[in-house]
Structure 1
């Protein structure tokens, strides 16, 4: 499932390609992927200009010039591709937004959605339960320490809890625990101040590195895209079961914590 770095990468690439461009055509291939009748969706989206694309947690918000906001959540298996008709992937398309001869394809939206809201406040209400953005410049170590001090659950289950921090999922929770040298089954209330500070620093480093590397999802966003998916080869533990740990050489372990797939090194994570 796309997490904060993947969606931030999408946001940056979308801004380069569709900001201030007019949506010339709309095609809905799966009505369950939207939340209003197809005719209403088309009438409110077609011929509108994309003013901005922003991200909140694992969501993207497409801001149109008629104050309509399209709220995207790709969920498990969803991805996007931007190209001409001739270059599009041979996949089922749930939604297509056209910009002249180029098109934005939404693929794999079996669980994901592209919902329409009339005004930013209506869209934001759907995101009210989300916690702070971990890469927000206003989110400091003191804020993290205060949040962490109120938690009693494991690092794994807490870090992926979207009401605690927004945008972290299975991949990056494992990567930041490894970077911090902490077992993901550790409880937040067992951590020392030093360990909490190390976890915060690891979180900042891992997420920023992943954003700059294009995230871990390997499907390109456009023909010739060499950035998207660049972090996959940099993952140290996620999806590396049985491979030697980069720090100590012991095999990476795959386990489950509260039914969540978890990867770690049992030797150098304490």
Structure 2
């Protein structure tokens, strides 16, 4: 599932390419991927201008000149492709937005969605999310973490605690902070809390710069998307040597989720 670095990369690219562009056509091939009847969705989205592309947590928000927004969550298996019909992947597209000869294809939206929301609906939908990890300060981070008692893994994937981090980057952040993902947040010292905070932003920004870990290209000739797969610290590196100490990375189960850790240099 795409996390903050992936969605922020998508936001950057789509914002540059689509802001100010008119949606000249709308095609819906799966009604369950949207939230209102198909014809109503088409009528309200077609011929609208994209005035901004924003991100909140793992969502993208396409703001329209009508005042409404398209809220996208790719969930597991969802992805996008920006290109013309000849360049598009040979995959079923649940929704297609056309911008003249260029189309934005929404693919794999079996669990994900593209919902058209009024401002109040959008605010309500996003109300339960915690602060953005790239914007939160140390004092607020400390205050929020002291309110939690679960494992670090469960803490970082909890979108009400902090928004945009999931399975991959929770492992990466904990590794950089030298803390096991199974460690209880209530047991952390002040120094360890600071270490977690200090690890969080560099890990996310580095992944964003490298291209994120999702494999599917966003546009024709896109060779950068997914390059973080070759740079992960521990995630999905079971039995490979730790990049700090050489010990084999192990896969464990934490809070019912898989997690990758170095058993030697991440403190329990």
| TM-score, normalisation: structure 2 | 0.98
Partner of 2:183: 186
C-alpha distance in 2 between matches for 1:266 and 1:98: 50
Partner of 1:44: 44
SS at match of 1:241: coil
CA-CA distance at 1:236 after TM superposition: 1.0
C-alpha distance in 2 between matches for 1:103 and 1:94: 13
Which segments of 5 or more consecutive residues in structure 2 lack a partner in the other structure? none
Q: Deviations over 1:56-93 (max 9, x none)?
A: 00011100111121000000000000001000000010
CA-CA distance at 1:227 after TM superposition: 2.2
Q: Return structure 1 stretches of 4+ with deviation > 4 angstroms.
A: none
SS at match of 2:63: strand
SS at match of 1:248: coil
Tell whether the 8 Å contact from 2:151 to 2:255 is kept in structure 1 after alignment.
no
Partner of 1:89: 89
C-alpha distance in 1 between matches for 2:22 and 2:102: 11
C-alpha distance in 1 between matches for 2:223 and 2:190: 40
CA-CA distance at 1:230 after TM superposition: 2.0
Q: Deviations over 1:182-207 (max 9, x none)?
A: 00111111111111001001001101
Q: Deviations over 1:105-155 (max 9, x none)?
A: 00000000000112x23212101111111111xx21111011111111110
1:114 aligned to 2:114?
yes
1:148 aligned to 2:182?
no
Superposition RMSD in Å: 0.8
- Of 221, 227, 232, which aligns to 2:229? 232
Partner of 1:8: 8
Tell whether the 8 Å contact from 2:78 to 2:109 is kept in structure 1 after alignment.
yes
User: Aligned ranges for residues 104-253 of structure 1 at < 5 Å?
Assistant: 104-118=104-118, 120-136=119-135, 139-253=136-250
- Of 251, 256, 268, which aligns to 1:254? 251
C-alpha distance in 2 between matches for 1:41 and 1:264: 45
Partner of 2:263: 266
Q: Give the stretch that moved more between structures: 15-24 or 222-231.
A: 222-231
C-alpha distance in 1 between matches for 2:224 and 2:191: 35
SS at match of 2:227: coil
C-alpha distance in 1 between matches for 2:165 and 2:238: 21
CA-CA distance at 1:261 after TM superposition: 1.0
Q: Deviations over 1:28-59 (max 9, x none)?
A: 01000000001100000001110001000001
Tell whether the 8 Å contact from 2:154 to 2:255 is kept in structure 1 after alignment.
yes
| TM-score, normalisation: structure 1 | 0.97
Which segments of 5 or more consecutive residues in structure 1 lack a partner in the other structure? none
C-alpha distance in 2 between matches for 1:210 and 1:54: 19
Q: Deviations over 1:222-254 (max 9, x none)?
A: 011122112111101101111111111111101
C-alpha distance in 2 between matches for 1:44 and 1:248: 56
